[in-house]
Amino acid sequence: MYVESTSHADWKAAGANAVLGGIAASDAICGALLGHHHLGEDHAAARRLLDQACAPDTRPGQHFKRLTDEKTHFQYSSSRVTQEKTRTLVTALERLVSTLHDRI
C-alpha cells in the first residue's frame, strides 16, 4: 500500500485517495440510510447530514471531518505531507467504510 512506501509522492496519493474515498463512503451511508446525500462543496453540511444518518453515533462525522480538513493539503497544495498524517487519513477512511458495512 502506498502509505507504507518511503516516497512522499506515494503518501500524498494515498492521502488524497483516502479523502475522496471518505467523501464517497459518506455519500453511500447517507444515501442508504436517509435516501439522499449531500450535493456540493460544503463539507460541513455534508458532515451534518452524516451525523444525522448515524445518530447518535458522532464518530463517523468526526472521521469525515478529519479527512475533509486535509483535502486541500493533500490534493491541491505542493507542501510535503508526512507518513503519519497519511496513516491517520487511511485509518479514518477504514473506519468510515466499516461504518458503511455495519449500517447497510
Q: How many CA atoms lie within 13 A of 102 on its CB side?
A: 10
- Check residue 8 and give its pLDDT: 82
Q: Which residues of 47-79 are buried (b: 16+ CB within 10 A; e: fewer)?
A: bebbbebbeeeeebbebbbbbbebbebbeeeee
The structure's pTM equals 0.92
Residue percentage of the chain with pLDDT more than 70: 97
Q: Where do we find the cell 444525522?
A: 52
Q: What is the mean pLDDT of residues 78-99?
A: 94
State whether the Cα torsion 92-93-94-95 is positive or negative.
positive
